[in-house]
A = this chain, B = another copy of it.
Amino acid sequence: MAKEAAQVAPHVYKVLFENERVRLLDVRMKPGDESDQHSHPDYLLHALEGGKVKLTDASGQSAEVEIQAGDTMWREAEEHSALNVGTTELHALFVELK
């Protein structure tokens, strides 16, 4: 399995809190910022500032996700690289469940 997000791209993902049940990440991704392949367990994403991100899985398949400020989304465990392809800095909280 790929490494955790904060290990791979500490300039994007900052661990605010972690215990045996949950990890809270503060995520700030400027336009053009990218993070190499990494893994997330199931997690809840809540956006404070929106952005447009391209996610690419290990097989090379990619998808763009447009996120608005205030959006909340549940995402199943996944591995991908990420690139901010938009014009705004994405600021989000990720609550990763263990």
| Copies of this chain held together in the complex | 2
Q: Contact between B21 and A42 (Cβ–Cβ < 8 Å)?
A: yes
| Binary B-proximity of A7-25 (CB < 8 A = 1, otherwise 0) | 0000000001101011010
Q: Contact between B22 and A72 (Cβ–Cβ < 8 Å)?
A: no
Note all chain B residues with C-beta closer than 8 A to A42. Answer: 21
Q: Contact between B16 and A95 (Cβ–Cβ < 8 Å)?
A: no
* Interface size class of chain A, counting residues whose CB lies under 8 Å from the partner chain: 10 to 19
Q: How far is the CB of A91 from chain B (nearest CB, A)?
A: 11
Judged by a CB distance under 8 angstroms, whether A83 is at the interface is: no
Interface residues of A (CB under 8 A from B): 16-17, 19, 21-22, 24, 42, 44, 46, 48, 72-74, 93, 95, 97
